[in-house]
Amino acid sequence: MSHVGVRCIHTFKMKVTIKRWHGVATWKWGVDEECCGICRYAFEACCPDCTMPGDGCPPVWGACTHAFHMHCLMKWLESLQSMRQHCPMCRQDWKFRN
């Protein structure tokens, strides 16, 4: 039996009324690894130098695909001073992934 072209004209009164709504959400960084390769803290948490997780300390990826907290990596690269900058995990020359 086909009902093509038939419109529903029935309306129903809702049996409940929404007076208040509190939305809850979760977020997760799009990182394959669970934690930073330098500090070993989860990416959902903040690095040891930060107090609040979020955009202030995002993960950064290298061309080699390894990911680190931004602050952890910056400290690592600064500690190398005059030496060539390399990935702490695989020792390839460090280049930020595009």
Query: Residue 39's pLDDT is what?
Result: 93
Mean pLDDT along residues 43-70: 84
- Contact (CB, 8 A) for 25 and 50: no
The total number of structural domains that make up the chain: 1
Residue percentage of the chain with pLDDT more than 90: 34
Tell if the pTM clears 0.75, that is, is over it: no
**Do the domain assignments include residue 77?**
yes
CATH number where 59 lies = 3.30.40.10
Q: Provide the domain limits for residue 82.
A: 20-98
**Do the domain assignments include residue 68?**
yes
